[in-house]
Each structure stands twice: as structure tokens, then as C-alpha cells.
A and B are shown apart, each in its own frame.
Chain A
Amino acid sequence: MKALLGAFVVVLLGLACGRFVVASPAGEYQIKAAYLLNFARYIEWPAARLPPAQALRVCVLGRDPFGGALSALEGRQVNGREVRVRQLEGADQAGDCHVVFIAESEERRLAAMLRALSGRGLLLVSDIDGFVEAGGGIGLVTEEGRVRFDINQASLQRDGLRASAQLLRLARSVHGARVP
């Protein structure tokens, strides 16, 4: 028992001092960061919203859960555009973003946030439970140890965004799909 407590105290001390700060390996949020880059690749924005050669801005709303994994996106090329990552202080700052990731810290304010952000040509992505059902664009879902995604086609269309056939095919489920 003493040994158990001793080991426990060591772990606690380590945590409290913050000495074990290492990049978390194969973490859930590294995979989610990679998804954000891929969504940017397979979504088409209206030309007015994203003129050619303009940088593509990926923004985070709420407490950044990526633990530094998003910085790996900074400066990468997507369809010939440079990616820029930005942390937002509020929904009112989302104006010049293209992809907005809504962190779980915003769950309580989600409905109001979705109303404020929808119809502005933004791709809204989140891992909040029930995100696409609530009207979000793409929801990330961790299921049986794997990260997958749901698409709300109606929300994307309302924002003038076009998802490629490949993206739709790889989604776990597509909500609000309309037969043309």
C-alpha cells in the first residue's frame, strides 16, 4: 500500500510541476488536426468567400484542445493555398476564417454560437456530441477507438459550401442530404 501511495505521489508531483510536458503521441487531437486539414482539402468555398491565392484560415473557438497539434498545420499548402491557424476570443471575430473548430468548452453556448456563425460561408467543425444534429457542418466522433466524422449536408449547402463526393463517401453518416 505504501508503495502504491509512493508511486502515486511521484505521479502527482510530476504533474503539478508540469515536468512531463511532452507532445502527446498518437493522440486523439493530432488525428483531429489532420482531419481539419483534409476537410479544407475536400470542401469548396464560394469564390467570393475565398478568392484564389488567399490564405485559408483555420480558427479555434473556445479553449484549444489540440495541445499544440494545430501548429503543425501552419504554413502548409492546401489546393495551392497557405494555411493559417488562429485562436479566436469570440464568435464575432470569425469573419475572416474559413474553417472554425468549436471546442468542447463552448458546449453550453453551442446553439447561440451556431446561429451567430451559420450562413457566413464558414465550415463549422466540432467534436461536441450531437454537433451535426444541432446544425453544425462536420462533427468528429470518437467511436470504438477511432475518430470518424458526420456531415450535415443541409448546413453545408446553407453556407454555400460544396463537399466533394469522396468526403461524403467516407463520412460515417450524412444528415439532411437532399436529392437534387
Chain B
Amino acid sequence: MSSAGDARQRVLKPVGAAVLALLGVGAILSGVAFGAGSVDSPGPGMWPAVLGGALVLSAVAFLVLNRDGKEGAFGREVWNALIVVGSIVAFVLLFEHVSFLLASVVLLAGCQVAAGATRWLTIAITCVVGTGAAWLLFFVVLGVTTPL
């Protein structure tokens, strides 16, 4: 692995293990709060507490045993993924508060740019055709109601 990859792994691996451990501790505490009960009469909190314990143990095992270095798989392409996520967030907000048509156009345009489309005419045609087809399928044929 490159030195940049090593450095990334040195940071990401403990961070990943810490997130898992935190989740586990949260589950244990919540399980106790729900009422863990006893082995002969398990309460609603027992199973989450057991799973929380398993997560804490696996976080430790992950930190100590796992040396495959797969934590360094993030590269520049992550920016494209962020554009996709941003487009989806915009889609959901616009769909809920403005209109499906605008939301769909924003989503399709954003994702095509993230995927490397450069011809604006192709992007525009895909936006119009895709939005129209989805509108017809869901809101006309299947009778789905919009949130507005």
C-alpha cells in the first residue's frame, strides 16, 4: 500500500472502530433503560443490550485483528458521490415543498453531471423525457399522490 494509503488507514481504522464501539455502548445503555429483564424472563432491552455488547467486542476485534487495509478505498471519485447525494437531498426537499417536476429535473441533471455527462442537450433531453415518463408511470398509471 502507498504511504498515503497507510496514513489514511491509520486514521480511518480507529475512527471506524470507535463508531462501532459508540453504537454498541449506546445500545447497551438503551437496552438497560428499556428493561433487560433476566435470562428466564427476557425484557425488551435484553436483545439490544446483547447486540450492543457484540458490537463493542467486534470493534475491539476489528481494531486488533483486521489488517486487510480496505479502509483506504476513498479517492477523488467521492466528490461525484457527494454530488449524487446532494442531488437526492435537493430532490426530496423540492418534491416535498415545491413540485415533482422541478425536483426530478434537478436530480437527473445533477446525477448525469456526476456520471460524467458533458453534452447539455443530451442532459436536457434526458431530464425532460425521464421526468415525463416517471410522472406518467407513478402519478397517472399507478395513481400515487404527491405530497403537495
The answer to whether A and B assemble together is no
Q: Which residues of A contact B (CB under 8 A)?
A: none
